[in-house]
Structure 1
């Protein structure tokens, strides 16, 4: 299966100088794209970009949308960490639509750290079943409205160390479970929809200065969420999350990065909130949720050339990852480990902020997956 998401019109602009019509002095297309790609803001000043996107996948047909990114530093002080607000909205020829909002905001002198995401979409989900040995053939198609509101409010305790509460609200409604023609899946918990509210807390150590392109730094997080019927949740369950990342400079341009990531749940968990393997962050090449279960452990490493020695704007990356899912931690098995790897192209979209646009292709036994996003995967 090929997964193509957010294939952006800006890719064409990389090669404008090689297109004959682009050399006209008054060509308005070239001027607009060049303006979008240029970054003339002074260090510390906010930077904003908005650009159209185009994608295709078999379950959605063509997808059209806009992506925007705001980068800033508290009080316009370049000594403060770089904060980001990212928005993406889309509509497809099959009538699906959605809007995504992500935020990672650092206050002045790191006193506060707000980390969260919002999702609203009517979008099909491919369902392959639950467990480490699900078949990759003939997935079910679940069409539904999906709402996610997740936010952390973290306070600096000591330099680089944060703690604070976390809230997670997820709702799946207007669901339609379409079985494949050749066989039927047992209906999973949550297939008819429902809403769940989780409350918890997080401990975070973070000494990164630029979260979208970490050239040197360490990030460690452990968090806990409890979903309880007394809070209005349809299902009662709880989970721990572990995320450890480190980046090491290899000379003046190159970076070696690694990540260990884990989800560990217990209780009655709806299928859409199980630990999901795949996606644009880790195990690139696998569809998000290709494998799902109550527990997952994943590792990945990546080598980045930022930029190439022969270019001021173009760079690249090579990455590899491995992950395993299981109903219990004690049931992680070597034979269930899945592997993925791939390469990527980088384009320096914000030179003053050292932010790259990344196009990654990940390879798995199921086939390739393509991803285009602003900023590195981790």
Structure 2
């Protein structure tokens, strides 16, 4: 599931003291809010926004503030919300979730992100998708498995994305259905760095692309935000063509396989294999992108991009520690490679990343954690703060 209750910021350009102070502040902000405030309006606010008093099976709504920092945006302030429910309030149905995140920055940038994993009555229907609107800069390092590590271009644009799968259960845990993808870039600008000139890729002057296709999904998970045991597998095909409103003609196959294995009552070993394979005239923003908050944590999203990518990661989760009811941790490793074609994947271009994370049990009745991850790569560390696990 593609999850983006977002906070991610790059700290490699910051002095070491500022990094440590910022990390301490965010850890304090994220993990101590649920326990501060013993009296008056502070206590009532926390009880309404973060407490987990909803009875099993009943819908629940929570919201909480977020804070981030990135060199290209400055400080960023946001508000995240999370809606959890089960169809017809029946605890035998899978837990559905809708996450929303709105943000503004001190430089006047803003956005709204919405993600959904909704199971219909008796899990016969599965709506899996994401919606994005943002005015936000994109760092561009070029296309290919070997691109400059410094002085990226800055692409500023308004970005709109709507992607939704409408899946019908055929047999238990097996879903199939159509998929729609709409992506638009407009009001774009391409700012070259002083020491390096990039060739402007397809799409940097603005573009609209519409894709239609189908997805096949096997999913026997029960709690999407924190899977203790289960398997998720998806393969989808999308075709973009002027006949359906797309500016460019291209097509892609997407693969996502995840498996979860409990090692004891609290701990979980999880792994994921993820791939994107595109052919045709793909715009730069719809190439396979390495990095981000889900896979290859530690790399800026799109640090490496091309028409094909294969990535894998493994993660061990202590949820919670044996000596704590609320706190836990994870350790993770990942590897990925991009190339123009599958046949051109090369071992010398494989990139690796890894890291550790803290967990705080935000909703005990739902077994949902707030995660703070630090991912390390050859480009330096990145920090991510989210609701729910990376995969």
Picking from 213, 223, 230, the partner of 1:210 is: 223
Deviations 1:115-172 (A, max 9, x none): 0110000000000000000011000000000000100100000000000000000000
Structure 2: distance between partners of 1:267 and 1:251? 47
Structure 2: distance between partners of 1:41 and 1:144? 41
Aligned CA distance change for structure 1 residues 18 and 190 (closer, same or farther; 3 Å) = closer
RMSD: 1.9
Quick check: 27-36 or 56-65, which moved more?
A: 27-36
Q: Is 1:230 the equivalent of 2:230?
A: no
Q: Is 1:3 the equivalent of 2:10?
A: yes
Aligned to 1:310: 323
Structure 1: distance between partners of 2:186 and 2:31? 41
Q: Is 1:131 the equivalent of 2:148?
A: no
Q: Is 1:119 the equivalent of 2:136?
A: no
Judge conservation of contact 1:10–1:51 (CA < 8 Å) in 2. no
Structure 2: distance between partners of 1:224 and 1:247? 25
Aligned to 1:48: 61
Picking from 39, 42, 59, the partner of 1:29 is: 42
5+ residue gaps in structure 2? Answer: 1-7, 12-21
Judge conservation of contact 2:48–2:62 (CA < 8 Å) in 1. no
Judge conservation of contact 2:27–2:372 (CA < 8 Å) in 1. no
Structure 1: distance between partners of 2:216 and 2:31? 41
Deviations 1:188-240 (A, max 9, x none): 11111110000000000000001110000000110000000111111000000
Aligned to 2:303: 290
Q: Is 1:79 the equivalent of 2:118?
A: no
- Pairs within 5 Å for 1:237-252: 237-252=250-265
Judge conservation of contact 1:13–1:33 (CA < 8 Å) in 2. no
Structure 2: distance between partners of 1:169 and 1:2? 27
Aligned to 2:374: 361
Picking from 184, 189, 202, the partner of 2:197 is: 184
Number of equivalences: 373
Deviations 1:234-288 (A, max 9, x none): 1000000011000000110000000000000000000000000000000001000
Question: TM-score, normalization: structure 1?
Answer: 0.95
5+ residue gaps in structure 1? Answer: none
Q: Tell me the SS of whatever aligns to 1:14.
A: helix
- List structure 1 segments (4+ residues) > 2 angstroms apart after TM superposition: 6-19, 25-37
Structure 2: distance between partners of 1:130 and 1:375? 31
Judge conservation of contact 2:368–2:388 (CA < 8 Å) in 1. yes
Structure 2: distance between partners of 1:239 and 1:15? 44
1:37 Cα deviation (Å)? 2.7
Picking from 107, 112, 124, the partner of 1:99 is: 112
Question: TM-score, normalization: structure 2?
Answer: 0.92
Q: Tell me the SS of whatever aligns to 1:186.
A: coil
